[in-house]
Amino acid sequence: MQFYDMHSHILPAIDDGAKTVEDALSLIESLKSQGVTNICLTPHFYTNEISLEKFLSRRQRKFEQFKPYIPEDVNIVLGTEVYVTNYLFNNDDLSGITYGKSKYILTEFPYDIQFSEKEMQQIYILTQNYGLIPVLPHVERYVHLMEHNDKIRELKDLGVVIQSNISNYSDKAPFFRKRKLLKMISGGLIDILGSDTHSFTHSTPEVFTQAVDNISDKCGRHRLRTMVRTSKQIFEEALGIEEF
């Protein structure tokens, strides 16, 4: 089975992730050794700190510098982890910060929010005004969502894709959090996985195999396959691959 890392901070020297090309290649090699050969590079875009134009210019420059070093047997999609504020909506076109050529956009919110009217309106604007499909990263960090799974269902009813970090499913992950998240996967509340890897000390990538094995063991291989298929669909749309 091919695996997909839908959230990473491997693109070097742009955010708090990989600092050098060597760091980035070591992270990729760790993922590749575990069968993860499809990787999304999703550097942070803080919409309240930098303009879209400046971010896109900086990201493209960093990507062009990194491209010659990317292993030939690894597929890469360039995306963005977008911190959603109202400044984002000052831009007419957000296609540059989606996953590649797709309509999917990785959207981060403050972790203490309850996804009340303001945030739901922001999601509505993304879906209806911009025609995009929000992907909510590391769902486990949102206390309200973890305590109110009905809100996750409400988000999914709006078309939001839910992502979780692999570190929560490793052998050393906190037991009660892991158990709760595995139940959420079994219930179809979590759609895709990502390493969110920054380095070998922050959201490390080397537990990917542990994570997928534990998910397969506890939730069933069919649930894991469903998550992989969803990742594959987003990844291929990002690459511009059309199904016939």
Residues of the chain with pLDDT > 90, as a percent, come to: 97
Which helix (DSSP H) or strand (DSSP E) does residue 31 occupy? helix 21-32
Output the pLDDT for position 244. 42
Q: Give the residue from 233, 237, 205 showing the smallest Cα distance to 102.
A: 237
CB atoms within 10 A of CB 66: 21
Residue 95 CA to residue 78 CA, distance in Å, equals: 12
pLDDT digits (tens, 9 = 90+) for 102-159: 999 999 999 999 999 999 999 999 999 999 999 999 999 999 999 999 999 999 999 9
pTM above 0.95, yes or no: yes
Whether the pLDDT of residue 243 is over 70: the answer is no
pLDDT digits (tens, 9 = 90+) for 167-218: 999 999 999 999 999 999 999 999 999 999 999 998 899 999 999 999 999 9
State residue 5 phi and psi, 5-degree precision: -100, 105
- Which tokens belong to 173? 């992950």
Residue 131 CA to residue 82 CA, distance in Å, equals: 16
